[in-house]
Amino acid sequence: MNNLLMEVENEIAVVTINRPKSLNALNSETLTELEQCLGEIEKRKDVKVVILTGAGEKAFVAGADISEMKDATAAQGRDMAFLACRTFGKLENMPQVTIAAVNGFALGGGCEISMACDIRIASENAKFGQPEVNLGILPGFGGTQRLPRLVGKGRAKELIFTADMIDAQEAYRIGLANKVVPLADLLKFCKEMAAKIISKGSYAVSLAKMAINTGLDIDLASGLKLEADLFGLSFATADKKEGMSAFLEKRPANLTDF
């Protein structure tokens, strides 16, 4: 991999987009590597949480690579958007929990990739925005779809139409960032959150992720039916037996992944 770093420790995979000279901008090669990398991680039973971050202290991801897009044709632009759609879809729907450790600029495709993650933790210096209209394009990596789902239609339209950048506190205030922490503590904080999630029943967590994601795209009655089915499925696990027995026996539960 030319543009990514990946390390696995304590069931946590840290994936770092590593193009600091261009503020970790996403070119096709990086997106292709990320699609492959996430495809491998989603099959691994020894990884329960994925933390996605950017190399350096300035940027998480400053967007899609403008130098690659400048001379691209309409068909190439569409292909790039589909590549990102497949790649970000993996982050969104893989059984593992995904956390974006947003360590600086998260602009355009950078804001969009963070929104495909389950949780966004921002460093105090982080800046979010969808500046595409400055370039004569619109968000093409999911921004027009995921931003309104996260922050509401009115705020999403304001951010996309004005191309304004917002700081981490404002992102927190509108629900785009889950937490804001000092840059020096960012990875540590994300790893602690990951460890807390891993200590729970991992299969139950991944079923909850599936219920939330699918439920938001369907009507309430169908979502509640899906939840009931997945809830029933969770009763088939050793974790359910152990979790409930431990509670009644007043001892800590030893939950695993099924």
The binder of ligand HXC chosen from 55, 107, 166, 255 (CB under 6 A): 107
Q: How far is residue 178's CA from residue 193's CA, in Å, rounded to a whole number?
A: 12
Counting contacts by CB under 6 A, is residue 66 touching ligand HXC?
yes
Q: Does 118 bind ligand HXC (CB under 6 A)?
A: no
Which residues, at least 6 apart from 212, have a Cβ–Cβ distance to it below 8 Å?
A: none
**In what order do the strands lie in the sheet containing 119-123?**
4-9, 12-17, 49-54, 97-102, 119-123, 179-181
Catalytic: which of 40, 68, 92, 112?
112
Q: Which residues contact 131 (CB under 8 A, 6 or more apart)?
A: 63, 107, 108, 163, 165
Nearer to ligand HXC, 80 or 187 (CB): 80
Q: Which tokens in the block code for residue 58?
A: 């300035």
Number of residues that bind ligand HXC (CB under 6 A): 22
Among candidates 195, 10, 34, 12, which has minimal Cα distance to 113? 34
What does the per-residue mask of binding to ligand HXC show for 119-138, with x meaning CB under 6 A?
A: ------------xx--x---
**Does 22 help bind ligand HXC (rule: CB under 6 A)?**
yes
Per the annotation, the verdict on 9 as an active-site residue is no
From the list 132, 158, 227, 242, the catalytic residue is 132
Taking CB positions, which residue lies at the least distance from ligand HXC? 108
With binding defined as CB under 6 A, does residue 109 bind ligand HXC?
A: yes
CA separation for the pair 126, 178 (Å, rounded):
13
Q: Which of 1, 6, 8, 81 forms a contact with ligand HXC (CB under 6 A)?
A: 81
Please identify, using beta-carbon distances, which residue of 41 and 160 lies nearer to ligand HXC: 160
List C-alpha distances in Å: 163 to 92, 135, 136, 157, 258: 25, 10, 11, 10, 45
Q: Please, which residue, 166 or 197, has the CB nearer to ligand HXC? A: 166
- The whole-angstrom separation of Cα 93 and Cα 176 is 19
**Structure letter (DSSP) for residue 64:** B
- Which H helix or E strand runs over 52? strand 49-54
Whichever of 82 and 231 has its CB closer to ligand HXC, that residue is: 82
Binding flag, residue 105, ligand HXC (CB under 6 A):
yes
Q: Examine the residue annotation and report whether 227 is marked as an active-site residue of this protein.
A: no
To ligand HXC, the closest distance from the beta carbon of 36 in angstroms equals: 20
62 contributes a contact to ligand HXC by CB under 6 A: yes
Q: Is 54 in the site for ligand HXC (CB under 6 A)?
A: no
Residues of this chain that bind ligand HXC (CB under 6 A): 22-23, 25, 62-67, 77, 80-81, 105, 107-109, 131-132, 135, 139-141
Supply the residues annotated as catalytic. 112, 132
